[in-house]
Amino acid sequence: MLSLCGDQALRELSSPGKSGSFFYLTSNDQYMIKTMKKAEVKIFLKMLRAYYNHVRAFENTLVTKFFGLHCVKLAGANQKKVRFVIMGNLFCSDHFIHRRFDLKGSSLGRTTDKPQTEIDEYTILKDLDLNFIFRLQKHWYQEFQSRQVDKDCDFLEQENIMDYSLLVGVHFRDKRVIMTEGSFDSDSSRGSSPHLSPHLSRGDTDPNRLCKIKLGSNMPTRAELTIRKSELEAQLIGEPTGEFYDVILYFGIIDILQDYDISKKLEHAYKSFQYDPTSISAVDPKQYSRRFKDFVYKAFQEDKADT
């Protein structure tokens, strides 16, 4: 209540996105508000008990943290209803997020539509833009692979959910960082920016938040640069180069309110005539879960130098 209804106004984020939803951020960065369609509300209510049991059972779940689902009726002649959900902000951190990736494990259309010269810290990059393998420390790798991702994907599969993403935020600790065709100083990028975007990191002085390391939050990691052999091939993970960067990672599973309904089945059937069926995003939950895990386990690997 204090975060949402305090003296400081909510901040509207830059764009409604492909879904048409609007995003707002609380002044302390801890919570996000997302407007929802009626169909999404129905899916959420249907899965609510299972969702509640899942997040209670698994403390380190990577699934989006929901805190409230609400509906308000606007004053005026049409009495329009606005439905919205309150979520935890995945990138609530004192560390500036230099690169962010939305990863599904599919290749069709999974690249940014921006030219290289326009890619910046606020660009949401996709699977074919990913040019790193993240080498997790042994303890976190075991927690990530053996315990959590499998459990989260099993839960989403059981609830008939697909089209979710692993949202990854990367903070580079090294000033030498060179990205694609441009470069930036990781320290000079700190602080707030007027160009706000979903899942933003803005900087804070909460000491409890600065020191806490947990799965998917504030995780010191080594990122190994990769390179794809050919731009013509839809190679999801490039070849490792042996060039490493010290990074801090933030990641979680988002967009978990899309079930495999008739529209998604029709989309799958239509696109299958034109493209490789395994490359498209709209596939049944079982296949989606398997493909998602296969990709994630290639992008996140154990750091053998840590042993």
* pLDDT tens, residue by residue, 152-167: 999 999 999 988 999 9
Count CB atoms within 10 A of the CB of residue 112.
16
Please check whether residue 269 lies inside any domain of the structure. Answer: yes
Q: Which residues contact 166 (CB under 8 A, 6 or more apart)?
A: 62, 101, 102, 103, 104, 251, 252, 253, 254, 292, 296
- What pLDDT, in 10s, does the model give residues 99-118? 999 999 877 777 887 877 78
Please check whether residue 191 lies inside any domain of the structure. Answer: no
**What's the domain count of the chain?**
1
Please check whether residue 50 lies inside any domain of the structure. Answer: yes
Q: How far is CA 46 from CA 41, 50, 144, 275, in A?
A: 8, 9, 27, 33
d(CA 85, CA 71): 9
Fill in the amino acid letter for 147.
R
d(CA 265, CA 267): 5
> What's the pTM value of the predicted model, to 2 decimals?
0.81
CATH of the domain at 152: 3.30.810.10
Please check whether residue 220 lies inside any domain of the structure. Answer: yes
- Containing domain of residue 298, as a range? 10-181+213-302
- What pLDDT, in 10s, does the model give residues 155-203? 999 999 988 999 999 999 975 554 543 444 444 333 333 333 444 444 4
Please check whether residue 95 lies inside any domain of the structure. Answer: yes
Please check whether residue 5 lies inside any domain of the structure. Answer: no
Please check whether residue 42 lies inside any domain of the structure. Answer: yes
| Conformational region of residue 279, where left means phi above 0, alpha means psi within -120 to 50, and beta covers everything else | alpha
What integer is the mean pLDDT of 206-212? 53
- What pLDDT, in 10s, does the model give residues 31-42? 999 999 998 999
d(CA 267, CA 282): 7
- What confidence score (pLDDT) does residue 55 get? 95
Q: How far is CA 175 from CA 135, 150, 216, in A?
A: 20, 35, 23
Please check whether residue 80 lies inside any domain of the structure. Answer: yes
